[in-house]
Amino acid sequence: MGMENKISFIVAVNGYKVIKKETNANFTDVTALDSLNKKVLLRLIEPVSNECVVSNDVKNVAELIKRDNYDSAILISKKFTNNAVDEMTKQKIEHVSDDYLPPFDIEKLYLAIVDFANSQCQKKCGKVPVVKCDCAEKKVFDLCRTKALADSAKYHFEQGSSGLLKNDLKIALALTK
């Protein structure tokens, strides 16, 4: 999963509402609100070559959290040193890396995909079809990519296939581009 997709995944699974995105030379900060209107920082650190995030990077984020009154934070990068992971634990900062993705509720992932599909239908057709024949995107319902995605996600959810649901979310995100 690409770095930007990790942010989108975290936002979707946690039901965050993105309110600001700021890109700098080595990192991207996304400010979001959770369901309780708590301010969450998602910081994506793009490593140069094979660099790891170190404890000083974590300390800088901890200072930012205090200074800008964030309620929580998630650091996202390819790799973290052991000291950085220890510092994140101490500072109560979550992390996502190539090797670690925090546990998530598969139902939340499925519902995020359904919400996405419904909003796409609303944008494209002006309504969310209740039955297949109501779909106005294509004359033949089976050609509607949005509803096909929703059907696929439903099947994957019923089968308990979290890996395939993650892929469904990637497809959903690609449909918006």
Find where tokens 């959770």 sit: 34
Instruction: Give the pTM.
Output: 0.75
Residue 55 has pLDDT above 90, yes or no: yes
Give pLDDT tens digits for 110-135. Answer: 988 888 888 888 887 777 766 655 56
What pLDDT is attached to residue 141? 47
In the chain the domains, ranked by start, together with CATH numbers, are: 3-96 (3.40.1350.10), 106-175 (no CATH)
Most confident range (mean pLDDT) of 36-40, 140-144, 160-164 is: 36-40
How far apart are alpha carbons 87 and 68 in whole angstroms? 19
Q: How many angstroms separate the Cα of 151 from the Cα of each of 15, 24, 35, 59, 175? A: 21, 38, 26, 44, 15
How far apart are alpha carbons 79 and 57 in whole angstroms? 12
Give pLDDT tens digits for 57-87. Answer: 999 999 999 999 999 999 999 999 999 999 9
Q: By the 8 A CB rule, do 41 and 55 touch?
A: no
